Structure 1
Amino acid sequence: MSGPSRTQRPMSPLRAFFHHETSAGLVLMACALAAIAVANSPLAPDYFVTLHAYAGPLSVQHWVNDGLMAVFFLLVGLEIKREILTGQLATWGKRTLPGVAAVGGMAIPGIVYVMLNLNNPDALRGWAIPAATDIAFALGVMSLLGSRVPSSLKIFLAALAIIDDLGAVIIIAIFYTANINVAALLGAVFVFGILRSLCAANFQDLRIYLALGAVLWVLLLVSGVHATLAGVLLALTIPITTASATPDPARQTAPLHRLESLLHAPVAFAILPIFGFANAGVSFASITPAIMTDTLAVGVAAGLLIGKVVGIFGAVALMVRLRLAELPTHATWLQVLGVAFLCGIGFTMSLFIGLLAFEDPHMQDRVKYGILAGSLLAGVLGYGILRIAGRRAL
């Protein structure tokens, strides 16, 4: 069998995507557990002091959440653009089932959360926290099952989570934007216009895109719009086609594919673990039985554990029953239920939205309790259901 030509994009990006995401999920789990252990050890004071120490204009935690996570959002944006233009979401037929499932998986958790917090107005701002799925965690758990899960379900989960990420980006832009600095925002719009013009001209030099992306990040940080959105906006302007003729072999791969390939490893094995370690640390010293009736924590946990399952599984069942879509190839209803539970693992994006929704550290801790409890139960149940379903399929 002949190898790929030098002008082709890297072979099997979906396989590389699964490799990085599943491995990243396992590393992220380890870092989250390490953060919890440190936050409940004699090292806890040093841990929290370090996170809140300032390095220049921002604290260490803000550099992680606003700076490093902008690179994560850049990768998310590149994956969304690639999948929509050339991948698993390239046609409406491929988008329909994961798209409807993602909408259900965002709407129902939010409704569950709001219903539980109707008498707690201060908590209502967190309605979007359980709407997010952590694809790295979900695929990491799924990878433990090996061949028990058909590849079509992995593709379905990846497509659903990518659409979910797009929804989370839109939610952050609309609902979690602070007071606007109009001058800085206009500057960001101007820089984005330059980037769009470069993309329209199929300009290939990634260094220029990244330099302008850094300027865009600073302007958005000052503007009041969350700076991480600079990553998504930059991703939308990276060309997905090569130049018509170039003598440089390194540039015979499209800029989007080059940048995506460069970012996967550092995001998977550095940025996400650092984010997890910086944000998952929560002390359990103050936990009392009253947490079981705290509507903020319970709302987040119930949204992830119940809302995600009802929203995703219900959407899939409705689409299939109406004959508007079919189950993923070789997948059973029990396996789809297991995947719906795995989508209740909302760690990274849920933590991120929770930090945007609430500035009060005590409310942030209650959010973390809910995320950890809901994600843990959803992951365990999803793994157990898929393991049982896989045995039946063998």
Structure 2
Amino acid sequence: MARKITLDFLRTEAASGAVLGLAALAALVIANSPLSATYFAWLKSEHILQLGPLLLELTISEWIKEGLMAVFFLVVGLEIKYEILRGELSDPKKLATPVLAALGGMVAPALVYLAVSGAAGGPHGGWPIPLATDIAFALAVFAVAARRLPSSLRVFLLTLAIVDDLGAIALIALLFSSGVVWQPLIWVVGLLLAGGVAARRWKVPAPFWVLGFGLVWYLTVLSGLSTSLTAVAFAAIVPVNGRRRDGQIPLQEAMHDLHPWVAYLVLPLFAFAKAGVSFAGLTLEQAFAPLVIGVALGLFVGKQVGVFGAAWLASALKIGRRPTGSTWLELYGVSLLCGVGFTMSLFIGVLAFPGAIDSPQQVEVKLGVLGGSFLSAVIGAAVLAFAGRRRKESVVDAPDTAR
């Protein structure tokens, strides 16, 4: 059952990669067309939500970043909790290599970025941007390029990406949650504690979970805290034990119901809102600015070096091992795919350099993320495809060798 859920999750993530790609491409085309002014004006337009005494006024860009992306982080939190309690992450021996690889994949990109920014005089504040991996895009490329490769590599990639997401969320908590208004935050903590107690003692109906998440989200926006944090905290209190009546697990139901919406609506909308870069007036100086180069090299060079190096070290020290049935070449291809930062890197870029969506720094962030992610995806796919052909040839040649 758990295996089926994981595979269904992976298939949905992989399939949604095409939608993400089309959304990003559409944003680039529109941002460089006669509709460019309309596109950016739409993202900056303010819209009001009023439900009785509850009132919020945010721009479209903010609604997507703080509203829809909170649902994405809720699903990520549900996934992390499930994998820790019931899935791949429940076995410590299976955790060692991908966890260490994820840590290496966060440290090395930061060092590469800081080295570039230090040498070229770029802004140091962008170092968290290349640390993240986009699960959907990475799995989409893997699904296309690695059809002949062991499924253990896919699980390794997903596990690593989960740890990556957890690290990114922790960074968001530490670095990008300043200026907090404490009164609504105290209410958030109280509601989460009450929900956790209620989940352990009673069978809470689904509508109350929806209402609770909406209220926690609203109070988080008022507090000034990143909604990604409380979304993951809310996921931690969703029950993982099956109901006596039908044996269904609320956490699995929430993952099953929300994941398609996240994969096919939330993430594509975020990509459409954040990937639009106008090249009008773009100079070579800006295209090769330290921020652009630092982010791009952090994703393309830092990720592959950190992930592959940490995985090799874990194996050499015998505290971990390669995914079952895989080769080092295949693992290197997966390490390259970890440099596909895209939506997560863009999200952190918005937090690292707040301001107008078409500001010079935001343009440079987008150029760096798109460039590094594109290189990682194309070369990673090429390596995996080559490894797949080698595996096929070795299988075909095996009977001849035996004779």
Task: Report if aligned partners of 1:204, 1:239 keep a CA contact under 8 Å in 2.
Answer: no
The structure-2 alpha-carbon separation of the partners of 1:146 and 1:339, relative to structure 1 and needing over 3 Å to count, comes to closer
The two structures, once aligned, show a CA RMSD in angstroms of 1.5
For 1:117, what is the secondary structure of its paired residue?
A: helix
Residue 364 of structure 2 is matched in structure 1 by 366
Trace 1:102-141 onto structure 2 (pairs within 5 A).
Answer: 102-118=102-118, 123-141=123-141
Is 2:381 aligned against 1:383? yes
Report how far residue 214 of structure 1 moved: 1.1
Report how far residue 145 of structure 1 moved: 2.2
The structure-2 alpha-carbon separation of the partners of 1:14 and 1:283, relative to structure 1 and needing over 3 Å to count, comes to same
Trace 1:1-394 onto structure 2 (pairs within 5 A).
Answer: 12-56=4-48, 57-118=57-118, 123-243=123-243, 245-246=244-245, 249=246, 252-291=247-286, 293-360=288-355, 361-394=359-392
Aligned mates of 1:224, 1:121 — CA distance in 2: 31
Task: Report if aligned partners of 1:133, 1:347 keep a CA contact under 8 Å in 2.
Answer: yes
Aligned mates of 2:127, 2:305 — CA distance in 1: 17
Task: Report if aligned partners of 2:112, 2:298 keep a CA contact under 8 Å in 1.
Answer: yes
Report how far residue 225 of structure 1 moved: 1.0
For 1:12, what is the secondary structure of its paired residue?
A: helix
Report how far residue 119 of structure 1 moved: 6.3
- Residues 164-219 of structure 1 deviation map (CA, whole Å, 9 limit, x = unaligned): 11111111011111201111111111111111112222534222122111111111
Aligned mates of 1:180, 1:11 — CA distance in 2: 41
Residue 51 of structure 2 is matched in structure 1 by none
Structure 1 residue identity aligned to 2:379: L
The structure-2 alpha-carbon separation of the partners of 1:373 and 1:185, relative to structure 1 and needing over 3 Å to count, comes to same
Residue 397 of structure 2 is matched in structure 1 by none
Aligned mates of 2:26, 2:281 — CA distance in 1: 19
Report how far residue 324 of structure 1 moved: 1.5
Unmatched runs of 5 consecutive residues or more in structure 1: 1-8
Identity %: 41
Task: Report if aligned partners of 1:53, 1:60 keep a CA contact under 8 Å in 2.
Answer: yes
Report how far residue 11 of structure 1 moved: 6.9
Structure 2 residue identity aligned to 1:87: G
Report how far residue 121 of structure 1 moved: 7.6
Aligned residue pairs, count? 381
Task: Report if aligned partners of 1:75, 1:235 keep a CA contact under 8 Å in 2.
Answer: yes
Aligned mates of 2:375, 2:3 — CA distance in 1: 36
Unmatched runs of 5 consecutive residues or more in structure 2: 49-56, 393-403
Residue 6 of structure 1 is matched in structure 2 by none
For 2:147, what is the secondary structure of its paired residue?
A: helix
Task: Report if aligned partners of 1:10, 1:257 keep a CA contact under 8 Å in 2.
Answer: no
Task: Report if aligned partners of 2:19, 2:264 keep a CA contact under 8 Å in 1.
Answer: yes
Provide TM-score, normalisation by structure 1: 0.94
Aligned mates of 1:120, 1:384 — CA distance in 2: 31
